[in-house]
Amino acid sequence: MRCRVFDLAERAVKWAVIGPGLIILLSTGVQSAETDEHFFEARIRPILVQRCEACHSSEKGKTKGGLALDSYAGWQKGGESGPVIVPRNVDESPLIRAIQYHEDGPQMPPEEAGGKLPEQEIALLTEWIARGAHDPRVVQIKRSGMTEAQLHAW
């Protein structure tokens, strides 16, 4: 009888040590699986929508400089001078030069649209590209008022 009590106590102590460790392991695992998606949705999409899409959106039919920034395909194709983002290569990405307001090349957003972004937003866009520019957005091509997905359903 006594031994069983000790046994149980020992097990309780073991789980008190291992349990929290397991929980931390599991939750960090889940976090890294979600992180790129969440980072894009929470931090990047709102910047692009608020600061760029008035002039760079194929959905809205406005692609200044030939550039759409409302889909992955948009920045892959890029503008008049080719792709504007090179994933994981900040220095080779014209989009970064544009938002840093480099003198050679376009300065984005233009002065009349609010001018240079706050440092924090420049840092976020830079981080996004450095991490691989994860972007789940696909263009919704509308035909006769229906999206591509709705057309396929017919």
Q: List contacts with ligand HEC (CB under 6 A).
A: 51-52, 54-56, 64-65, 67, 69, 78-81, 84, 94-95, 98-99, 106, 108-110, 113, 117
Say if residues 95 and 125 touch (Cβ distance below 8 Å).
yes
Q: Which is nearer to ligand HEC, 45 or 64 (CB)?
A: 64
Using only the alpha carbons of the chain, give its radius of gyration.
24
Q: Which is nearer to ligand HEC, 55 or 133 (CB)?
A: 55
The counts of H helices and E strands in the chain are: 6, 2
DSSP line for 37-92: HHHIIIIIHHHIIIIITTTEETTTTEEGGG---SSHHHHHH-BTTB-S--TT-GGG
Q: Taking the complex as a whole, how short is the minimal distance between the CB of residue 128 and ligand HEC, in angstroms?
A: 11
Q: Taking the complex as a whole, how short is the minimal distance between the CB of residue 15 and ligand HEC, in angstroms?
A: 51
Q: Which residue has the closest beta carbon to ligand HEC?
A: 79
Q: Which is nearer to ligand HEC, 41 or 148 (CB)?
A: 41
Pairing verdict, β 62-63 and 56-57: antiparallel
Q: Taking the complex as a whole, how short is the minimal distance between the CB of residue 49 and ligand HEC, in angstroms?
A: 10
Q: Taking the complex as a whole, how short is the minimal distance between the CB of residue 120 and ligand HEC, in angstroms?
A: 13
Q: Taking the complex as a whole, how short is the minimal distance between the CB of residue 30 and ligand HEC, in angstroms?
A: 32
Which residue type occupies 111?
Answer: E
Q: Which is nearer to ligand HEC, 78 or 87 (CB)?
A: 78
The phi, psi pair for 57, rounded to 5°, reads: -140, 120
